[in-house]
Amino acid sequence: QIDHIIKAFSIYISKGNDSKLLIYGKDENGELNSLKILVKELNLNEYVEFKGYTSNPEKVFENSIASILTSKFEGFGLTIMESLNNGCPVLSYNIKYGSSELIENNKNGILVEKDNIDELATAMENARNIPLKDVKLNNRFSLESAINNYKNLLDELKY
C-alpha cells in the first residue's frame, strides 16, 4: 500500500513541511506506473523519488528520518529489524505480527491505526519535528537472546 504513503506524504507537504520521500524496492507487482501517476496528480514530483533496488539498505536507513511500512499484513518484519538496527525509527500500520511485535510505540517507532492515512501523515510530522532518540531493536530480539532461547530449548529436549 505504497499509495497510502504517498497520500500521507501529500498531507505532510501541504502543512508546510519540506522533505523528500525516497521509495526503494523492485516493482514486483507492476505498481510503479500508477504510483508515478499518483505522485504527478498530487503535485509531488519535486518531493518524491523512486530509487529502485538498493544493495546498501544500511546506508539508506542511517541517512533517513524514518522508514515507513503500510502493509496490510506482515510476517516477521525483517525490514523493520534492519531499520531499527541502523538507528532508523519505523512508522508503521499497527498490524498483527511484525510491526506490532518489533515497534515500541514512541520509543523506536510510531504505530498508526491500519489504513489511517491522516494519522500516518501526523506520524511523519512527529518523526520529523520530534525525532526519536536512541532507536534500537528490543533486546529480546538480540543475537544473544536468540542463542539463549535456543540453548534453553535444547536443554528442555534433553529431558
What is the per-residue pLDDT across 118-138, written as a single tens digit (0 to 9) for each? Answer: 999 999 998 888 877 877 665
Q: What local confidence, expressed as pLDDT, does residue 159 receive?
A: 59
Contacting residues for 19 by C-beta, under 8 A, at least 6 apart: 12, 13, 47, 65, 128
DSSP E strands: which ranges in the chain?
Answer: 21-24, 48-52, 67-69, 90-93, 109-112
- Higher-pLDDT residue of 67 and 153 is 67
In three-state secondary structure terms, 105 is: strand
- In which band, very low, low, confident or very high, does the pLDDT at 21 lie, cut at 50, 70 and 90? very high
**DSSP 8-state symbol, 77:** -
Q: What local confidence, expressed as pLDDT, does residue 76 receive?
A: 59
Q: What local confidence, expressed as pLDDT, does residue 101 receive?
A: 76
Q: What local confidence, expressed as pLDDT, does residue 84 receive?
A: 86
Break the chain into its structural domains and give their ranges.
Answer: 2-158
Q: What local confidence, expressed as pLDDT, does residue 81 receive?
A: 79
Q: Residue 97 in contact with residue 120, Cβ under 8 Å?
A: no
- In which band, very low, low, confident or very high, does the pLDDT at 38 lie, cut at 50, 70 and 90? very high
Rounded Cα distance between 94 and 115, Å, is 9
pLDDT, tens digit, 9 for 90 and up, residues 84-111: 888 889 999 988 766 777 888 888 888 9
Q: What is the CATH number of domain 2-158?
A: 3.40.50.2000
